[in-house]
Amino acid sequence: MSEIYLTKNGYQKLAEELEYLKKVKRREISKAIGAARAHGDISENADYDAAKDAQGYNEKKIAELEAKLAGARIIEDESIPSDQVLIGATVRLKDLDTDDEFEYILVAEAEADYAEGKISINSPVGSGLLNHKENDIVEITVPAGLLKYKIIKISR
């Protein structure tokens, strides 16, 4: 897997998720498999099949997280210029069509969580904001049309 860039918090969050999947989720799935086996014939046992599917999904997720963490490069906030929109930056924007103001944090795809205001640098909006500076007017083409933003503030 190629290198991915993560903030310290993003790395910690993925590491905690990995720990949970390995220690807690594996144990829960193992108990579910054991309980399903106790019901007798496993050849036509839907509970057993569901538990085995869950086990396969969990192991796949564990492998993905291990690969991400192995290839992760931690972004040090101090090393990133604060006058430019780069990964790890918090960007305050003004929508020039609606005059609404809002903030995004630009993160790697592995950390993206729209509900928390974290958008991927690979998303249309994230990539459209990259390398711009405060007071720049940015026009970003998205599937729904054209977005026009003014960058009000950049912080770390």
Domains 4-74 and 77-155 in one fold:
no
Q: Is the pTM of this model over 0.85?
A: no
Q: What is the pLDDT of residues 92-107, one digit of tens each?
A: 999 999 999 999 999 8
**Domain 4-74 falls in which CATH fold?**
Helix Hairpins (1.10.287)
> Based on the number of CB atoms within 10 Å of its own CB, is 81 exposed (0-12), middle (13-18) or buried (19 or more)?
exposed
For residues 87 and 108, what is the distance between their CA atoms, to the nearest angstrom?
A: 7
pLDDT digits (tens, 9 = 90+) for 76-94: 765 566 778 988 889 999 9
Fold of 77-155: Chitinase A; domain 3 (3.10.50)
Tell me the domain boundaries of the chain.
Answer: 4-74, 77-155
Which residues lie closer than 8 Å to 56 by C-beta, 6 or more apart?
Answer: none
**What is the distance between the alpha carbons of residues 115 and 121, in angstroms, rounded to a whole number?**
16
CA angle 93, 84, 92 (to 5 degrees): 15
Number of other CB atoms surrounding residue 138 within 10 Å: 18
